Copies of this chain bind each other. A is one copy, B any other.
């Protein structure tokens, strides 16, 4: 039987052996939600960068640059970290260079995995199907907030665990922790998260609409996958 584990913070990634696993990277608020939204609106590829300058330099090569630090769009970048910035006709067939506080760093820590895919509530069922029909064991890596564990990424890991519970076994306690939390939260995730430190931080930035959208399951039926050249596509 395949197994599933959950890495609750990128700072714990050295404890996990990913070489035979499909790794799902999740940063619900808001990097991976943005990426999924962008692909659903016709973007050709997204190249993640952990370094801000390297990301910005891609503008001269015709890329749309997306940059976020501490929840805010970075000066000089074309787009920030709201999914609503990735819904226009103008991104169709474009390439994006993307850097965020936590999400792109998490992708970097997953390098070496058999496969790396992008998860969010927006494409939850598609990710579940991808994992169910794939042959690899699974590791979900939660981007967290500057290394610390956060609730919303943990809830996503729990949703995956809950939906795969009859098909895949938990390696460790972290998937069980996530699953319990998801089952507590699933009927009203917005309310459940209202005390979360990250949600409070983002509410101060006035992005309640983003948060509600990012917590809505199954808006899109796509699974972005990292290819051998370091870019995400949905082929």
Contacts and interface: CB of A to CB of B under 8 A. Distances in A.
Interface of A: 8-9, 11-12, 14-15, 145-151, 154, 170-174, 176-177, 180-181, 184, 195-198
Contact of A197 (B145, B147, B171, B180): B171
Given A151-B177, A173-B196, 4 more contacts: A11-B11, A151-B176, A154-B173, A176-B196
Contacts of A180: 180-181, 184
A14 B9 CA distance: 13
A174 B196 contact: no
A177 B154 contact: yes
Contacts of A197: 170-173, 176
A8 B11 CA distance: 12
Nearest to A147: B15
Contact of A172 (B14, B15, B148, B170): B148
